Amino acid sequence: MMQQLAMQQMASEPLLKVENLVVEYAVGGRTVHAVSDVSLDIARGETLGLVGESGCGKSTLGRAVLQLRQAVSGKVLFDGHDLTAMHGDALRRMRRRVQLIFQDPIASLNPRRRIGDIVAEPLVISGVKDPDKRRQAVHDVLAAVGLDPALVVNRLPHEFSGGQCQRICIARALVLNPDFVICDEPVSALDVSIRAQILNLLEEMKARYGLTLLFIAHDLAVVKAVSDRVAVMYLGRLCEVGPSEQLFATPAHPYTALLLEAIPVPDPDVRPTESVAVGEPPSPIAPPSGCRFRTRCPRADARCAAEVPELRTVAPGQSAACHHPLI
């Protein structure tokens, strides 16, 4: 009985828990507040979409989860282990359970190594000594991502298109059978015609390998297509988190509403609404006081400048960091 309870607790425990993460870095003597006090949960088997404008800290957050960027404060709990407290070998072992897929698939592959070596590299690093076993694993994973292993393994990255390179990157990320994959804008650099293929492949791989995904993107349509839940980020802070359908239907944060309005409607008679997109986002070097969105928000008042809004539940499963939510 006790064991069952413990098991249930294990299952409901989020795979990744980010607690009050702060990432800052110095540029020319000034501090860039890239990620400020972000808390997130990602359940096992879930896909969390992370959206926001360029430079809002999405990618930094993804890399800080893997400890590729040093966090100033906060915790990253992966399967109960605090990654921010880990160093050296322990961290390297834990990183093997978390993989990363990048925006630029061609730059992600070493131009002077053969595809077979690139995909086998994770196995070598994690200590799989038997070359036959490695070859078999590389074969299997390349076939799984839709490439013919026999044709591919002896080639160099420049012989492939962007979509094929992204398939190779996905194969490399999956060869160790990880639990969690961070996709950092995996389709933004690809042709529109290839995007759907790669997104379908990611879905397929998620089912096949039982993955949990953090899907970072600035394209709302892409995020809507793949995510179970969506988190919206603005200037280093989380604005809103909620189930995908619900968030797209009834946004609570004015910024989410603004983003949704900015999606072009495929109808030439519909005029774009011009009133909402006010100005550029402020610099993350000197973010506005209180709510960071207040400088562009139609609902902002004195309270927004004085008080930082906390993430509060506004509907079942949906929470927003706003003093004047839309619902």
Residues making contact with other proteins (CB under 8 A): 63, 66, 68, 91-93, 95-96, 98-100, 102-104, 107-113, 121-122, 125-126, 145-148, 151-152, 156, 158-159, 161, 163-164, 167, 169, 172, 176, 197, 200-201, 204
Nearer Cβ to other proteins, position 152 or 233?
152
Nearer Cβ to other proteins, position 36 or 99?
99
Distances, alpha carbon 193 to alpha carbons 163, 187, 198, 199, in Å: 10, 11, 10, 11
Distance CA 69, CA 119 (A): 24
Q: How far is the CB of 71 from other proteins (least distance, A)?
A: 16
Distances, alpha carbon 88 to alpha carbons 65, 93, 94, 95, 281, in Å: 16, 9, 10, 11, 38
Q: How far is the CB of 175 from other proteins (least distance, A)?
A: 10
* 148 closest CA partner among 180, 178, 116: 116
Q: How far is the CB of 197 from other proteins (least distance, A)?
A: 6
Burial bucket for residue 188 (CB in 10 Å: 0-12, 13-18, 19+): middle
Nearer Cβ to other proteins, position 65 or 222?
65
The DSSP output letter for 295 is G
Distance CA 158, CA 231 (A): 35
Nearer Cβ to other proteins, position 149 or 242?
149
Q: How far is the CB of 186 from other proteins (least distance, A)?
A: 12
Nearer Cβ to other proteins, position 55 or 290?
55
* 61 closest CA partner among 40, 86, 82: 40
Give me the half-sphere count of Cα atoms (radius 13 Å) on the Cβ side of residue 41: 11
Q: How far is the CB of 327 from other proteins (least distance, A)?
A: 39
Q: How far is the CB of 242 from other proteins (least distance, A)?
A: 29
The secondary structure of 263-281 as a DSSP string is SPPS-TTSPPP-SS--SPP
C-alpha radius of gyration, the chain, whole number: 21
Q: How far is the CB of 201 from other proteins (least distance, A)?
A: 5
Nearer Cβ to other proteins, position 6 or 68?
68
Nearer Cβ to other proteins, position 153 or 259?
153
